[in-house]
Structure 1
């Protein structure tokens, strides 16, 4: 008999972490796992409010798909008015103390729930290490990033010992300085590729010390999973770069793609989505629209947003712009006078939408993005070239790999050194033209379509990611069987 499998999945309370972990949860549920999905009360309420559902309706919906699923939420200890994702250092610090609350909620007796097989933890949740140890179950570290970035972060203390962290201002400006001492055969990295929280200017901030602590605990793992696919980062050896004491390290992504290809809407949003944009997109010519979105956390100055708006206006292309209400650091934003009137016949501005559905629309020809890993994977999987405009964390590395390693996009010069550098409307306009027209566009499209096909192949039966996830399920089955 097959032993019952029960994966506890614990997600960092941020949009870019909940989505991939929920998609992974569904993929495992389809392979027979009972899933306990845990996040914070704050995030749980945000997701329910955005979806206009209560917890009971959500449970009925996901169980209606035939999945064995339950959701648990624990308090994060922060006051209601705290900014959470706008104060990442303080949030990380709070999350590091959640171990007792997590262990307590998992220890409540429930005969309808199988014994826990493993804890699959977001790589940024060090609190799960002690919980997994106390419960006597494997700790599976899931990286919501690319393999290269995961290797950098996991080896932060080594980089510290070698003098590469904290990253000095003069090193950021040196394009000739390359770091080649990391394991896993990752391409030589530049100082600007290292986690932005490890830059010298952040040394006195909570985010610096909190990230170093997370790096240390990321080296406590019994299994490692990465949201990437082998064909994208084929030259990198994840087993050498990420494995802890020889444990398996497997690429299983893009985890959203199997659900998408099978017609399941597996997007979990912190904001109410605008659905009117799809009718507007239906009226645009194929490949003519530039999609503009900077994710859930990036902040831009009002001056920069004005320059961007004027560049979008000057380029002449139709554009769909996701403009969050808090993108100007929570301040009310006034776009250039007359901008909306002058562009109303070829532009649409929304506060939030289903990005995956947008990127898969035939009218989309390019993506101006903050270069978050989810956005990067989604664009590659839909065959859309990118213009990268990174803001923090791993976005600088993702942006450079898009431009220099995978050759599927462009960036803006200098923003990797200074994320607050103002990019002028002239540069915005010329860069958009480069990605939307001419010979450069043809080459970018060829490259990204090739990667799109590789991504689709990886997640379908017989593909590398599909097989790797099956291997993980089989390994967990052996663990469960050994306990019977």
Structure 2
């Protein structure tokens, strides 16, 4: 009996990234492969405590990220985390692989391939050293992959042009757009430099493999894939591929019963990703805008949505009635988006939510925060024309009147819903048996089987 193939998967240690890598692994597992899913100890504890994978055959293991247990792991501490990971994790990862392989039965279950996220591609150096093949995975859009590459080059040029690094306390004059793309707002020279060094280390390591996988489709971003020929679209994976339950938050299924009580295409679904926060003033305007819409709404008011530590710190304005709505801490999003009562999706346009909305043919109201979200909004509103943007006022706040007016505009435009349905058909065609994404993914699976 030959080896069935044993994959080691390593995502970047952030909830959305871990969830996207897990979605890929669940699909690969269906092809008969064994999966060892490696998280940092900090993330591992969160996944285990959520008990979301109790019936899964995927083995969850962990290694330390190099930071102290009491250290915060916020987006603003990205360079600190990256430095710690590079210093401590390669050796720990190699020890883990040797331990797994040493305890494998008759070599049948030894690790045969690494799949790392782009942001953890340094691990391919470990794989290469140990004679193990590897692949790397980009869970976001091809457009954002291109944007990050351009932003890194611009930032490197800026750093190289700085003659006196100590002038002004060592701070640079990076543009807000550049810092937003890189996910490093208000950063100083040294912080930017450390983040770029980490990114360049990953890019160099990616040269050890020909498999650069992307959770998108030619049909969605043809021009961007033409710019990066090595990037291979294999998605977007719809929620029904594998188990779509949340890895980090308990889902409130009562909202499905609530949706059942409403007419088709009547409910505004409001949800943002597991990271990013609303300014308190924006939170108030959103609440009052939902009231003004005079429509039923389902609002995911997750913990820390306004930067507060506890759910009880969400302060709703006195005039907020909310009688037409239901507010939950977390929702089973794919079920909500596919429910016939859902009329539109007010989203921050992170890529997972974008693809889930596209696969459900639900029009978007766009309120992006940072990182890839403005790029995704541009595609949603300008390229695919399946949503509308919420425009801020002169103070950078989207007022309640804007929310009310754009809800009416979106739900009154039947052409947007028609285009949403057409785009969903294209997506399901490309991930079906004869589609381009499906063929690419099957080629990768065949390569895994050949080298197991």
Normalising by structure 2, report the TM-score.
Answer: 0.87
Deviation at residue 365 of structure 1 after TM alignment: 0.8
Deviation at residue 226 of structure 1 after TM alignment: 0.1
SS class of match (2:136): strand
- The answer on 1:217 being equivalent to 2:223 is no
1:181 match? none
1:84 match? 73
Superposition pairs of residues 17-416 of structure 1, within 5 angstroms: 17-51=17-51, 58=53, 61-63=55-57, 69-89=58-78, 90-97=80-87, 98-108=89-99, 109-112=102-105, 114-160=109-155, 195-197=181-183, 201-204=186-189, 206=191, 209-211=194-196, 213-221=198-206, 222=209, 223-237=211-225, 240-241=227-228, 243=230, 249-257=231-239, 259=241, 264-331=242-309, 332-339=313-320, 342-344=321-323, 346-413=324-391
Residues 382-428 of structure 1 deviation map (CA, whole Å, 9 limit, x = unaligned): 0011122111211111111111111111223359xx9x922111112
- Taking structure 1 as reference, are residues 392 and 289 closer, same or farther at Cα in structure 2, changes over 3 Å only? same
- Unaligned runs of 5+ residues in structure 1 are 64-68, 173-190, 244-248
Normalising by structure 1, report the TM-score.
Answer: 0.81
Deviation at residue 381 of structure 1 after TM alignment: 0.5
- Taking structure 1 as reference, are residues 403 and 273 closer, same or farther at Cα in structure 2, changes over 3 Å only? same
Deviation at residue 93 of structure 1 after TM alignment: 3.6
- Taking structure 1 as reference, are residues 294 and 408 closer, same or farther at Cα in structure 2, changes over 3 Å only? same
Deviation at residue 2 of structure 1 after TM alignment: 5.9
Residues 193 and 394 in structure 1, CA contact (< 8 A), matched pair in contact too = no
Which 10-residue stretch deviates more, 306-315 or 99-108? 99-108
Which 10-residue stretch deviates more, 451-460 or 372-381? 451-460
Deviation at residue 198 of structure 1 after TM alignment: 5.9
SS class of match (1:84): coil
Residues 213 and 233 in structure 2, CA contact (< 8 A), matched pair in contact too = yes
- Taking structure 1 as reference, are residues 219 and 409 closer, same or farther at Cα in structure 2, changes over 3 Å only? farther
Q: How far apart, in 2, do the equivalents of 1:479 and 1:158 lie? A: 36
Q: How far apart, in 1, do the equivalents of 2:243 and 2:7 lie? A: 22
Q: How far apart, in 2, do the equivalents of 1:211 and 1:281 lie? A: 46
- Taking structure 1 as reference, are residues 356 and 365 closer, same or farther at Cα in structure 2, changes over 3 Å only? same
Residues 12 and 124 in structure 1, CA contact (< 8 A), matched pair in contact too = yes
- Taking structure 1 as reference, are residues 27 and 359 closer, same or farther at Cα in structure 2, changes over 3 Å only? same
- Taking structure 1 as reference, are residues 157 and 307 closer, same or farther at Cα in structure 2, changes over 3 Å only? closer
Deviation at residue 70 of structure 1 after TM alignment: 2.0
Q: How far apart, in 1, do the equivalents of 2:190 and 2:353 lie? A: 27
SS class of match (2:223): coil
SS class of match (1:291): strand
Residues 8 and 35 in structure 1, CA contact (< 8 A), matched pair in contact too = yes
Residues 155 and 215 in structure 1, CA contact (< 8 A), matched pair in contact too = no
SS class of match (2:13): coil
Residues 148 and 182 in structure 2, CA contact (< 8 A), matched pair in contact too = no
Deviation at residue 156 of structure 1 after TM alignment: 4.0
Residues 156 and 215 in structure 1, CA contact (< 8 A), matched pair in contact too = no
Q: Note the aligned Cα RMSD (angstroms).
A: 2.8
- Taking structure 1 as reference, are residues 210 and 171 closer, same or farther at Cα in structure 2, changes over 3 Å only? closer
1:178 match? none
Residues 105-164 of structure 1 deviation map (CA, whole Å, 9 limit, x = unaligned): 111112235232221101111441321222222331100111111122244443446669
SS class of match (2:339): coil
Residues 252-294 of structure 1 deviation map (CA, whole Å, 9 limit, x = unaligned): 11224452xxxx5332331121111111111111111111111
Q: How far apart, in 2, do the equivalents of 1:410 and 1:205 lie? A: 38
- The answer on 1:426 being equivalent to 2:408 is no
- Taking structure 1 as reference, are residues 194 and 305 closer, same or farther at Cα in structure 2, changes over 3 Å only? closer
Deviation at residue 165 of structure 1 after TM alignment: 11
Q: How far apart, in 2, do the equivalents of 1:169 and 1:283 lie? A: 53
SS class of match (2:218): coil
Residues 5 and 33 in structure 1, CA contact (< 8 A), matched pair in contact too = yes
1:66 match? none
SS class of match (1:132): helix
- Unaligned runs of 5+ residues in structure 2 are 162-171
Deviation at residue 465 of structure 1 after TM alignment: 1.9
Residues 314-364 of structure 1 deviation map (CA, whole Å, 9 limit, x = unaligned): 11111111112211112512101142xx222x2001111111111111111
2:12 match? 12
Q: How far apart, in 2, do the equivalents of 1:269 and 1:14 lie? A: 11
1:246 match? none
